Amino acid sequence: MPIPEKNDLAWVDAFRRAVVRDLDTLYDLTEQELGRDRFETLTADIVPLLAACKWTTRQAVKILRTKKPVGTSLWQFGQRHRVHRVPLGTVGIIATWNYPIQLLGIQLVHAIAAGNRVVVKPSERTPRTQEHLLRLARGAGLESNRLRWTEPTRDAGQELIERGGLDHVIFTGSTPVGRSIASRLARTLTPSTLELSGCDSALVMRDADPRTAAASIAFALTLNAGQTCMAPRRAIVHTDVHDGFLASLAEEIGKRQSAPVVDPTEQSRVNRLIDDAAQRGARRLDGVDPGVCQVLIDCPRDHEIARGEHFTPTLAVLRVGSNDEARELHAAFPQHLAVSVFSRDARAQRLASPALGATVVTINDCVVPTGHPGLSIGGIGPSGWGLSRGSEGLLAMTRPVFVSCTPKRLRIPTDPPTAKVRAGVDAFVRRRYR
């Protein structure tokens, strides 16, 4: 049966409407569990899910329909080839907490639209928000055999993996936990999509507008209290615009209010790292309220803060003398998920973007463009593997089946060839492919 089925796309629409009807409850739950502002929940968490639902109902049929492969070969005359997409089977989603509605919701929508069954392990930090979202999904028309969920505990996640019976697992979280999950799944050869930490760079080039760069980076740095995997952890700034960038950055951060970091242990760890960096010559940017975010100037390049190994609103500003040095310094850091580049020459940056080593590159902006429902997200190396969201993410929830049909009369001879036939085919190939 072709996918997506009409009933599944009808469910996507019904789920979207159910979310809209229950916005106030979702606001309340995220505010209670994350301490997050309602407007930020709406714009950064709920709207991307609603947009993805709309996009999926409009684009899924075209993306997942049966297709003919491009091109043919002369000796395959008469044959018909088709590529069908079929569901993976049962998809396990180990949900994350920092965007509990958007990330889980989009992964669920794509898995169901592609015809799969889904088992979710909600995050232990946002259990009520995600259970409510799952109940909305179930109430929109999913039977229990299509969607079920476990207890929101670490043990439940481990049991889900160890028990087996999954055809694919989606995990969003830290690199160390991702490595552990990948190791366990390898025992049963279960494929996975791992969305892991970004720890990435914002490159402010020599010809950049420092005010634009500062405004975009300040927004991404403070969004969701810095608890965004694609937020920049370091700004690599050309010396010609360095001072102007810092002045604008302090001004932009001054417009923003503090927001709670969900993990106080992580915040305490980062505070100790900042003190250590200060002892090694780093300086805090004047005029920045540390309750909103923390910005370090002259941070040693080998320090954990510069490496971005944190999940708080903390930024290291690293000065460089050339655009080439900026790219080389960025490449020296191991994790690349979403790189931002600021330059007045956008065309040159587009041409150079493949060399940055990331799947997502934003030019003259941070984070905001990645909300496009047709764009996918995927890590490389320590930032994970596989793709989610967008057309590639939807395709990843299926597997291809290649079907070839040969007619009864127009068939390639399979009898042993004569010497004359051998010579003729040899001569033909030499002419055809020279």
List pLDDT tens digits, range 139-182.
Answer: 999 999 999 999 999 999 999 999 989 999 999 999 999 999 99
Q: What is the pLDDT of residues 6-49, one digit of tens each?
A: 999 999 999 999 999 999 999 999 999 999 999 999 999 999 99
On the question of pLDDT at 296 being above 80, the answer is: yes
Do residues 315 and 297 lie in contact, with contact meaning Cβ atoms separated by under 8 Å? no
Assign 325 to helix, strand or coil.
Answer: helix
pLDDT band at 115 (very low <50, low <70, confident <90, very high): very high
Q: In whole angstroms, what is the distance from residue 267 CA to residue 362 CA?
A: 28
| 356 pLDDT more than 70 | yes
Q: What is the reported pTM?
A: 0.94
Cα 235 from chain centroid (whole Å): 21
pLDDT at 20: 98
CA distances (Å), origin 39, targets 36, 48, 217, 369:
9, 13, 20, 18
Calculate mean pLDDT across residues 261-280.
Answer: 94
Identify the band that residue 280 occupies on the pLDDT scale cut at 50, 70 and 90.
very high
Indicate whether 413 pLDDT > 90.
no
Q: Token pair for residue 56?
A: 């999926």
Q: What is the mean pLDDT of residues 375-401?
A: 95
Over range 325-354, report the average pLDDT: 94
Looking at residues 281-303, what average pLDDT do you find? 95
Q: What is the pLDDT of residue 92?
A: 98
Among 74-78, 112-116, 202-206, 345-349, the minimum mean pLDDT is found in: 74-78
User: Residue 429 has what pLDDT?
Assistant: 87
Question: What is the β-pairing status of strands 387-388 and 283-284?
Answer: unpaired
What is the rounded distance in angstroms from the CA atom of residue 71 to the CA atom of residue 66?
16
By 3-state DSSP, what share of the chain in percent is helix, strand and coil, each rounded to 5?
45, 20, 35
Question: Domain map of the chain by residue range?
Answer: 6-196+380-400, 200-372
Strand 192-195 relative to strand 384-385: parallel, antiparallel, unpaired?
A: antiparallel
What band does 3 get if pLDDT is binned at 50, 70 and 90? confident
Please determine, for residue 75, whether its predicted confidence score (pLDDT) is greater than 80: no
**Residue 1 binned pLDDT confidence (cut-offs 50, 70, 90):** low
In the predicted model, is pLDDT for residue 91 greater than 70?
yes
Reading phi first (left if > 0) and then psi (alpha if -120 to 50, else beta), residue 68 is in beta
Answer yes or no: is pLDDT of 2 > 80.
no
Average of per-residue pLDDT across 214-243: 96
Q: How far apart are CA 298 and CA 157, in angstroms?
A: 41
Evaluate if residue 77 carries a pLDDT over 80. no
Measuring CA to CA, which residue among 233, 238, 305 is closest to residue 269?
Answer: 305
Work out the mean pLDDT of the chain and round it to a whole number: 94
Tell me the HSE value of 164 on the side-chain side, using a 13 A CA sphere: 4
Q: What percent of the chain has a predicted confidence (pLDDT) above 90?
A: 87
H-type helices in 86-151, by residue range?
102-113, 127-139
Q: Are 343 and 364 in contact (CB under 8 A)?
A: yes
Q: Which CATH class is domain 200-372?
A: alpha beta
Percent of the chain clearing pLDDT 70 (strictly above): 100
| Domain 6-196+380-400, classified CATH 3.60.40.10, yes or no | no
Amino acid 392: pLDDT:
97
Q: Which of 40-49, 365-374, 386-395, 413-422 has the lowest mean pLDDT?
A: 413-422
Bridge partners (DSSP) of residue 153 are none
- Classified as helix, coil or strand, 136 is helix
Which residue is associated with the tokens 């001004």?
251
Q: Could you tell me if 201 and 285 are in contact, meaning their C-beta atoms sit under 8 angstroms apart?
A: no
**What is the rounded CA–CA span in Å between residue 372 and residue 343?**
22
- In this prediction, residue 66 carries a pLDDT of 95
β-pairing verdict for 314-320 and 294-297: parallel
